[in-house]
Amino acid sequence: MKYAVTDIGSNTIRLTIYEVKDGRPLVLMKKKSQVGLADYIKNNKMTQQGIWRLVHTLKTYESIYQLFQAEEIFTFATAAVRNAKNCKEILKTVKEETGWDVDLISGPMEAKLGYLGVQSTFNLKNSIHLDIGGGSTEILIHKGKKILYENSLDDGSLSLYREYVSRIFPNKKETREIRKHLQKKLQAMNLPKLKNPFPIVGVGGTLRACNNLCSELFEPVDYPYSSDGEESQGHFKVSQSKSISKGLMKFDPVYVRNVLRVCPSRVHTLTPGILILQEIADIFSCKEIMVSNQGIREGYLIWRLSEDYGRK
């Protein structure tokens, strides 16, 4: 069967068409729309312009659903919608204008779905799952099949940019303010102290963009392999991410040109996202980051097709 999964995020709206074979979702096509819904949040409410931008984007996907003859269409939303005071109005308008119900995903549930998607590829024994989005950051830690910790930080790459950055890249003062803010918020989350280092496996556009930049700017780290032998998306060093954030802060033309070439849509949100990564990596003394090409959309589809659906 073919399934359409649409992920309404704070920065992007992503559609993926899947065909499920032997219980495993296989990607047939992907489409990303850079909408920036977090920019339409005023006084903790999404503006009418933002709501209609969301509706218009979803309507443009109708022809894709029809082209691929998707048997079922699933749509879910994360931080930008769930944190808006007029959340019910947003969901109601989408339903009236498109006919589709939107599944509102909580922060902890978002962390679980990312974990499900990553584990479908990596199947790691112990790890820290990190999903840096535009409006939130999800952290889940597991040991074996036991989840030790799951929580959502209500800061993401786009929300930090909007709150702290005056131009394209944060300057030294703004970087210090972002770090101070993150350190305070992360301390309040009571992250567990791990006896042995756990690897960090990341998903989301910020980490994929950082991985692609590291591959262009530095000698690539050997790619890890998933449990079934297929190559995963990537692997980079935290020290490399620090070189990127410092280079962009100084407006170094080498780094700026590469960002504009490799990930132009993230030119303004990349540095705040990298700062989130660095603060979390420092807490867990992690030196390298694995980046998965499976994430929340795959996890969501696995969950919707499982017996656990409905248990949020």
User: What's the pLDDT score for residue 220?
Assistant: 59
- On whether residue 71 sits in a domain, the answer given is yes
Q: CB–CB of 157/134 below 8 Å? A: yes
- For 192-215, what is the mean pLDDT? 90
Same domain, 197 and 238: yes
Same domain, 30 and 57: yes
Judge whether residue 226 has pLDDT over 60: no
Q: How many domains does the chain have?
A: 2
- Which of these three, 104, 131, 146, is where a domain ends? 104
Same domain, 71 and 191: no
Structural domain boundaries, residue 134? 108-296
Same domain, 172 and 266: yes
Q: What is the CATH number of the domain that holds 291?
A: 3.30.420.150
- On whether residue 279 sits in a domain, the answer given is yes
Same domain, 142 and 221: yes
How would residue 238 be classed by pLDDT, with cut points 50, 70 and 90?
Answer: very high
Q: Which amino acid is at 173?
A: K
Same domain, 283 and 175: yes
- On whether residue 36 sits in a domain, the answer given is yes
Question: Taking the C-alpha atoms of 132, 137, 138 and 143 in order, what is their torsion angle to the nearest 10 degrees?
Answer: 70
pTM strictly above 0.95: no
Helices then strands, each counted (H, E), the chain = 12, 13
For the chain, what is the mean pLDDT?
90
Same domain, 157 and 64: no
In Å, what is the CA distance from 10 to each residue of 36, 38, 46? 6, 5, 11
- Which of these three, 104, 131, 153, is where a domain ends? 104
Judge whether residue 116 has pLDDT over 80: yes
pLDDT in tens, 164-195: 999 999 999 999 999 999 999 999 999 999 98
User: What's the pLDDT score for residue 119?
Assistant: 85
